[in-house]
Amino acid sequence: MAATKVALDFNRLDHRSVVRVALPIALANISTPLVGMVDLGVVGHTGGASEIGAVAAGSLILSLLFWGFGFLKMTTSGLSAQAQGRQDTSELSEHLYRGLAVATCLGLFLVCAQAPLLHVALDVLGASTRVTSLIDTYLSVRIWAAPATLGNYVLLGWLIGRAQTRRALGLQLVLNVSNIVLSLFFTLGLKLGVAGVAWGSVLAECITLSLGLLLLLPALDRPSVKEIVRADALRELLSHNRDVMIRTLTLLAVFAWFTLEGAQQGDDILAANSLLMQLVNLSAYILDGLAAATESLTGQAIGSRRPHLLGAILKITLTQGAVLGGLLALLFGAIGPLCLGWLTDDFTTIDTAIRYLPWAILAPLLGVVPFIFDGLFIGALQTRALRNAMLGATACFAFAWVGFRELDNHGLWAAVSVHYLARGLLLGIQLPALRRTVALPSDETSAPLGS
């Protein structure tokens, strides 16, 4: 067993140490929704509600195909964090290579199966003929990024688990900046419209994966094929992946239903909800910085046999999350209407979105607890608990939508808010079980889990 330096100093665990891990991811994530905003802004200024709805809905469908495999990032993060805590470089290399191998196989499968997958997705969406045609154009190009996209999930998860978030920031910025530049070039320069936005995304994913591999792989031990496909390691990986995949697909199903119901209420509602979701996504990506820090801190604490620190980690990240969520809510309340005007010239869409803006303002406040609890359970590799909590929260969403349906789009946003609350509650009640699983010792000097 080779040793590697532990990336975190647990003897000086305080707000500053958490910020050092969280800030690079938050900064990287801020640019991710900006890509969506630029894409929507470009088509919003060169087209109208149909083009906005097509890019937004097309991105949502790709989320079901790509983000549904987000377990690659989350599981890799938890596994690499615990291996980092154990100071085992051989295991770290195996986790990266094994994750990349799985990502490549899954990405090629999506490319080969694109025709039936996209056909079903378009039928389920049920948008207008014009929007459906534009979505098909977008997806037919964007799907070719699948192997690179999933490979980037593995790279980012591996870096986050090791608390090498500055490197993760660098790769994410390469991805997002190149995506913006290429999309603008193909759309405004070459006049490719919706297809230009898609081509920009495809090339950006390929550029980022190539750069990441060039930077990371030469410095690592190269495991043999036998080590990569070792039966016990694959069983562990597939077990965690299964649980997180169910969790992720369930979450995406909620937002797919949200988009579907918006589309059924008309193109204006679909476009307005798409714009508001850009604000919601912005808050989610910023809060995800704290979730990523929680993942890494939790995994390394457990791997280094110091699980008694989880209470202190949770206390710090929840405190920072509450402050950050409140600031984001105030920001959206102050400049939300202005942001909507930046995204489109369509006054009908802007007026419609402003009616539902309070729900987007509420989102960062509701997202703090579930996001940070997600990070805690991922770092502890308690993936079954994550899965069960998400299934329960989705059931709450369904009941809420039935109860609020007569409120139309307000009811739809209310159901999403219930989903946020249920996620936090259902994970919170499983904290005692997590404490028992990781065998936290009784230590009067450490904060109890959940305090």
**Is 135 part of any domain?**
yes
Q: Give the residue with greater pLDDT, 348 vs 368.
A: 368
Residue 343 has a pLDDT of 77
Residue 451 has a pLDDT of 42
Structure tokens at 196: 């230009």
Of 116-120, 156-160, 213-217, 251-255, where does mean pLDDT reach its minimum? 116-120
Structure tokens at 242: 């299964």
The model's pLDDT over 186-202, given as tens digits with 9 standing for 90+, comes to 888 787 888 888 888 89
Average the pLDDT over 253-277 and give the result: 87
Of 48-57, 115-124, 442-451, where does mean pLDDT reach its minimum? 442-451
* Residues 6 or more apart in contact with residue 35 via CB below 8 angstroms: 176, 179, 180, 183
Residue 447 has a pLDDT of 44
Average pLDDT, the chain: 86
pLDDT band at 1 (very low <50, low <70, confident <90, very high): very low
**Is 349 part of any domain?**
yes
Average the pLDDT over 435-451 and give the result: 56
Average the pLDDT over 207-218 and give the result: 93
Average the pLDDT over 212-235 and give the result: 85
**Is 153 part of any domain?**
yes
**Is 5 part of any domain?**
no
**Is 329 part of any domain?**
yes
Query: Among 422, 377, 381, 431, which residue's Cα sits nearest to residue 398?
Result: 422
Domain count, the chain: 1
Of 125-129, 140-144, 257-261, where does mean pLDDT reach its minimum? 125-129
Average the pLDDT over 345-362 and give the result: 90
CB neighbourhood size of 149 (10 A): 28
Give the residue numbers spanning the domain of 83: 11-437
Average the pLDDT over 304-325 and give the result: 91
The model's pLDDT over 138-175, given as tens digits with 9 standing for 90+, comes to 888 889 999 999 999 999 999 999 989 999 999 988 99
Q: Distances from the Cα of 104 to the Cαs of 135, 155, 209, in angstroms?
A: 25, 12, 12
Residue 2 has a pLDDT of 45
The model's pLDDT over 431-441, given as tens digits with 9 standing for 90+, comes to 999 988 886 54
* Residues 6 or more apart in contact with residue 330 via CB below 8 angstroms: none
Residue 34 has a pLDDT of 64
The model's pLDDT over 2-18, given as tens digits with 9 standing for 90+, comes to 445 555 666 677 788 88
Instruction: Compute the distance between CA of residue 81 and CA of residue 104 in angstroms, rounded to an integer.
Output: 22
pLDDT band at 55 (very low <50, low <70, confident <90, very high): confident
**Is 449 part of any domain?**
no
**Is 451 part of any domain?**
no
> Does residue 133 register a pLDDT over 90?
no
pLDDT band at 274 (very low <50, low <70, confident <90, very high): confident
Residue 148 has a pLDDT of 94
**Is 443 part of any domain?**
no
Residue 33 has a pLDDT of 59
Read off the amino acid at residue 380.
A
